[in-house]
Structure 1
Amino acid sequence: MEEYPLYTVPEIRQFQDILLNGLHEHPDRIALADLNPTPIQQVTYAQLFENVLRFGAALKQMGIRERDHVAVIAENRVQWGIAYLAITTFNCVAVPIDRNLQENEILTILHASDARAAVFSESYRDMFESFLHDVKGLEFLVDMDITAVRGAVRSMKAMIEGVELTMDASAFPKVDPEALSILVFTSGSMGRAKGVMLSQRNISTNLRAMLQMLEILKEDRFLSVLPMHHTYECTCGFLCPLVQGASAHYARSLKTVAEDMRSVKPTILLGVPLLFDKMYRRIMQAISEKKLTAAIIRPLQAITGMLERAGVSGVRRKVFSEVHAQFGGAIRILIAGGAAPDVEVSRGFRALGFSFLQGYGLTETSPILALNRLYRFKDEAAGVPLPGVSIRIDDPDSRGRGEIVVAGDSVMQGYYKNETGTREVLQDGWFRTGDFGYVDEDGFLHINGRKKNVIIARNGENVFPEEMEDEVNRIPAVLECVVYGKKGEDGDERIAVMIVPDANVVYEHAEKAAKDVTPEYVQELLQNELRALNSRLPAHKQIRDVVVRETEFEKTTTQKIKRYLVNSEDSTH
């Protein structure tokens, strides 16, 4: 597999560099735009610079001191980006908070983060007004939506409009790129969240390395659907386009993504595997309903693939133009992150003429560690390490699989006020990811699963639930599942699965079989599918128990199932 050169990227040491570069190189290009109606619905690069400068100065006039911690919570919008950049470029610490957390979880983060101020959208105003009395040190509240002061709450828009200052770089304070600048509380898919301490150097290093691997053009339009508080979306979907002079457009909601794509005509879409899985299923469902199309789809994919390998580019895009039109007709790249996508989905999108890439990373690494490239990729791999990232496999087994341990300038400073947790994962400059994987002969990193989730089979083999879940999720009647280990009567750990059935598929099966949909019928249908799957698996990986669950699993905002909440004995949630 041939290497090809890295791309040239502007020098970035801190976020002020991004704003100044945008002002000088692309002043009149759109930087950020909301599809929902908001007080600041769209900004050019010049307007972004001015708004950030004004809001940063206004925070200072309000009483915020350098190094103070300022929380930000809102739906994805232009003002979220302005607030984040103003806080960090004015030498304070941004604390992005997951907008879908429960009130007590938000309260816990405010306490744990030592937030002195909070910037939020209107839907959180009542909550934060009550927090003023509950959170020690919380003094200032700023609402993104109101137009004037209401009690103890200030208006972000009025603050921006009420500042008079010189619009040049001299208004920025000096920032130490090595200092704590972003305090991110992890999604907690494995349990209690921790405060990850990141510097502007951490994130700037990651941005540059990622952009050296993947060419982003100033003409690119990103459609943002993932929550901005999450480091994957913040680094890759928000800051990344700003470095290159591209634009980020904020979808109205997950439910309107299809419509928003037709409106924005994005060239790049970042998503998590669950989002792409659902999109791919819908596409294939629509194709299967057109019986003539369904009959010729596979031969067409094979022929167009052969032509493209022979050097005739763009054939798939033309042949499957109807599918591309559903994505707005301009998609250049689909990028999956946050978890490993199903290989069949990756290859399926590629067979339809989409460039589909995946990467791997963690909040603690700012976040990207490995990435597939447009012309150097493996759909079954997480990618190759970014420039400046060192990866080694700790204590590998006979197949070369072990814990992935990494080092580089994008690795976090540690966990906030948690020395024990920091020592557990940061040792001699190396970060223990908690993920199992291996590096193949071409230098590609492959992820097997989380160390904490590994099931030790009777023969001593490691079974990774995530790999098994990929297999089970390919069954059409399965909407989602969790694979886990369950002690048998003999004391050995058996492979078990909890499944949420896909109601539409189950009813279609029942209708064809002229049967009623009963719990017994659903159980039998799934058991039959799992027997067929087991026949293709080695004995130590075969699924011995199945539990049917009626409602979907609780998930983080990046759509990871909260495994620690799954009760393997309960099928009635």
Structure 2
Amino acid sequence: MREFTAPPLTTVPQAGGLADSVFERAEKDPGQVALARKDSDGVWRDVTAARFRDEVLAVAKGLLAEGVRFGDRVAIMSRTRYEWTLFDYALWTVGAQSVPVHPTASSEQVVWMFSDADVTAAVVESEDHAMTVGAAIGQLPLLKRLWQLDAGAEEQLRAAGERIDSEVVHRHRMALTPDTVATITYTSGTDGRPKGCVLTHSHFMSECDNVSAFCRPLFSSGLKRPPSTLLFLPLTHVYGRMVQVAALRAGVRLGHQPELNAEALLPDLRTFRPTYVLAVPHLFERIFDGSRRAAELEGQADAFGKAVDVAVRYAEAVERRAFGEGPGPGAKLRMQHQLMDRLVYARLREALGGRLRYAVSGGSSMDRRLALFYDAAGVRIFEGYGLTETTSTVTTNPPEQTRFGTVGRPIPGTTVRIADDGEILVRGGQVFAGYLRDPAATAQALRDGWLATGDLGELSEDGYLTLTGRKKDVLVTSGGKSLSPTVLEDRVRSHPLVAQCVVVGNDRPFVAALVTLDPDAVAHWLAMHERQAPSPTDLVNDAELEREIRRAVVGANTQVSRAESIRTFRILGHRFTEEQGLLTPSLKLRRRAIEKAYEHEIDALYRAA
């Protein structure tokens, strides 16, 4: 299959913008719960549609009073929190354009994005962020206003806007059209400087409304309470913004959590109790690994292993039945599944809040066996695929027919084509307008109405997309062998002790790898082997640990030919971090930066071999 089209299920309105849904929802059902906001005591307090509308209106008045005008660009530099959504919609209400800036951005990155986007005002979360912007203020002549959330920005703007009549705000809102620019969202910058993607209100409407229609079970929970989701993805990325907009347009109760890690997130999952979440594979891996370590500490390692085996076989049987390829789980397997549900799976669901039934995974590849395990445990995870340039989602798995190991089918209103060289091309209402002030890059990305994604993939006969790598990441050894490193890296990374894996080999005689370790998993491994924790230097040279990692490498090599296999590897003492400039804010590897930072280690690998 070279091309697959999914007809649209919804159409974009002829007039208006994203903020209209807030006002229309409050008018239709003012008492309906729209969001939940955690108070200083850690208790979730519901926010009705009418109250959120009033808060958006009050902040919008303040923005106008402080000089923000239709078409102005205002940066938001903050972690994911309630006020992020509040300011986003207040800006859209007055026709301004939000410019998300990641909270860990440096002054240099701030200067680039603020200057490139002609930012005239900024909302920051903390004093640290204010200092980052302040350090660059001399290079930002257009920046006139700076508000700090932790210093009462919301209250200040409410007070400033008291003299503004509501009708003035509504005139701004009514002037919006779907083609009005909503945001300038910058790419992750894995290759050089980030580029500003111009996304309109129409792009979000087309994306979010079609996703909501396609994934209807997410928005009709089947439980006594209405659907709800806890948003912990960064709102500085389009994936998080899509979740925000889709939830508010579909009438889903929306909560915010600022930390994208299992340790901080699990307590809020238990108290907020969402019916679905959207996340990245790393989170599901961490939760699974934590459950496995807990079972091992309780002396239940064999029982947990059996539970995993039963889950995988059960979910595979259910999957085959969904596609008309089998009768489903047999009587014996159903009984085993029921037993494991009481012993293992129910505990996992309870740790996730007890009401979670669906999850969407995106951002990177998810291990098929892991997805099968969660499915049999009562949480269906369906993978999706998208980019900043496509307002997030291009494909996702249908809830009723999830084909694990793929990133699903094109969402309604989208066409996916596979070019002759394997590159994924996309056409649809969610495809961006172009890169801000970069016509050359825009022309390279948008060709005859198609977005060239830079990703490689394959389409099945029924339209399911499988990702096979990135064009720019393809390695060519000195012997002329071309390979995509993703398959090897994902398989090595699936080992519990491994945090990250980078495959190298460009212009080299063979393929090698750099591997970093998961500190929690290593600590657990040492405790289970009744060993004291050695120094980092001794740890990376530990023979027993190296044998464990070698097993992961050997397992990965079974997926490829010998010419593509990892011949040697090195364990590093520290993980790659965003602070080092080795990861993007969305935790993607900056390959070129890693190869440069570890140039001596890579050279040593090849000399030793």
Q: Shorter-chain TM-score: what band? A: 0.7 to 0.9
In the aligned structure 1, how far is the partner of 2:39 from the partner of 2:502? Answer: 35
Q: Which residue of the partner structure matches residue 248 of structure 2? A: 242
Query: Where does residue 297 of structure 1 map in the other structure?
Result: 307
**1:161 to partner: Cα distance:** 5.6
Q: What CA distance in whole angstroms lies between the structure 2 residues aligned with 1:506 and 1:181?
A: 45
Structure 2 counterpart SS, 1:116: strand
How big is each residue's C-alpha offset from its partner over 1:288-316, in whole Å with a ceiling of 9 and x where there is no partner?
33444336424653686569946999957
Partner of 2:565: 542
Structure 1, unpaired ranges of 5+: 397-401
Amino acid in structure 1 at the alignment position of 2:459: V
What is the alpha-carbon distance in structure 2 between the residues aligned to residue 303 and residue 339 of structure 1?
A: 24
Q: How does 1:73-472 map to 2 (within 5 A)?
A: 73-123=77-127, 124-147=129-152, 155-159=156-160, 163-165=164-166, 169=170, 172-215=173-216, 216-217=219-220, 219-236=226-243, 238-253=244-259, 254=261, 255-292=263-300, 293-294=303-304, 296-298=306-308, 300-301=310-311, 305=315, 309=328, 320-396=345-421, 402-456=422-476, 462-472=482-492
Q: Distance in 2 between matches of 1:325 and 1:259?
A: 11
Alpha carbons 1:95, 1:184 under 8 Å: kept? yes
RMSD between superposed Cα atoms in Å: 3.4
More helix by share: 2
CA pair 547-408 structure 1, distance change in 2 beyond 3 A: same
Match of 1:566 among 587, 594, 600: 594
The SS at the match of 2:188 is coil
Deviation at 1:30, TM superposition (A): 2.8
Alignment partners' CA distance in 2, 1:477 and 1:362 = 30
- CA distance in structure 2 between the partners assigned to 1:510 and 1:45 by the alignment: 51
The 2-side partners of 1:240 and 1:318 are apart by 34
Greater shift in the superposed pair: 173-182 or 497-506: 497-506
CA offsets 1:65-89 (integer angstroms, 9 cap, x no match): 2111111112222211111112123
Sort the Cα spacing of 1:364 and 1:5 in 2 relative to 1 into closer, same or farther, 3 A: closer
Q: Is the 8 A contact 1:14 1:177 kept in 2?
A: yes
2:166 is paired with a residue of what secondary structure? coil
Amino acid aligned to 2:588: K
Q: Indicate conservation of the 8 Å contact 1:69/1:113, yes or no.
A: yes
Which residue identity is paired with 1:230? H
Q: Counterparts of 1:66 and 1:381 in 2: how far apart (Å)?
A: 42
In 1: Cα distance, 2:153 partner to 2:99 partner: 24
**Shift of residue 131, structure 1, vs aligned partner:** 4.2
What SS class does the counterpart of residue 573 from structure 2 fall into?
A: coil
Query: Does the 8 A contact of 1:272 with 1:558 survive in 2?
Result: no
In the alignment, the residues of structure 2 paired with residue 43 and residue 132 of structure 1 have an alpha-carbon distance, to the nearest angstrom, of 36
Q: Does the residue aligned with 1:390 lie in a helix, a strand or coil?
A: strand
CA contact (8 A) 2:488 2:556 kept: no
Matched positions, count = 556
- SS of alignment partner, residue 57 of structure 1: helix
**Cα distance in 2 between the residues matched to 1:31 and 1:412:** 28
Amino acid at match of 2:246: C
Shift of 1:145: 3.2
* Aligned residues of 2:7 and 2:413 also touching (Cα < 8 A): no
User: Once the 2 structures are TM-superposed, how far is the Cα of residue 169 of structure 1 from its aligned partner?
Assistant: 5.0
Q: Which residue of 2 aligns with 1:495?
A: 511
1:541 is displaced (CA, Å) by 2.2
SS of the residue corresponding to residue 415 of structure 1 reads coil
**Counterpart secondary structure, 2:505:** strand
Q: Which residue of 1 aligns with 2:72?
A: 68
Aligned to 2:27: 24
Provide structure 2 residue ranges, at least 5 long, that are not aligned to the other structure.
1-5, 322-327, 578-582, 603-609
Superposition deviation, residue 139 in structure 1: 1.0
- Deviation sequence 1:500-552 (CA, Å, 0-9, x none): 02345556369749797541524454345434543564212210231221111
Deviation at 1:424, TM superposition (A): 1.0
Secondary structure class of the residue paired with 1:28: coil
Residues 30, 44 of structure 1: 8 Å contact kept = yes
CA contact (8 A) 1:72 1:97 kept: yes
In 1, Cα distance between equivalents of 2:146 and 2:133: 7
Inter-partner Cα distance in structure 1 for 2:193 and 2:455:
18
Query: What is the CA–CA distance in structure 1 between the aligned matches of 2:512 and 2:287, rounded to whole Å?
Result: 28
Identity over aligned pairs, percent: 24
Q: How far is the alpha carbon of 1:359 from its aligned partner?
A: 0.7
Of 351-360 and 245-254, the range deviating more from structure 2: 245-254
Higher mean C-alpha displacement, 422-431 vs 534-543: 534-543
Alignment CA distance shift 1:276-1:301 (3 Å): closer
Provide closer, same or farther for how the CA distance between residues 335 and 9 of structure 1 changes in structure 2, counting only shifts above 3 A: farther
Question: 1:47–1:162: structure 2 CA closer, same or farther, 3 Å change rule?
Answer: farther
Cα deviations by residue, 1:183-222 (Å, 9 ceiling, x for unpaired): 0111113332100101100111001111111011381121
Distance in 1 of aligned mates of 2:153 and 2:182: 29
Give the secondary structure class of the aligned counterpart of 1:476.
coil
Taking the aligned partners of 2:238 and 2:500, their CA distance within structure 1 comes to 25
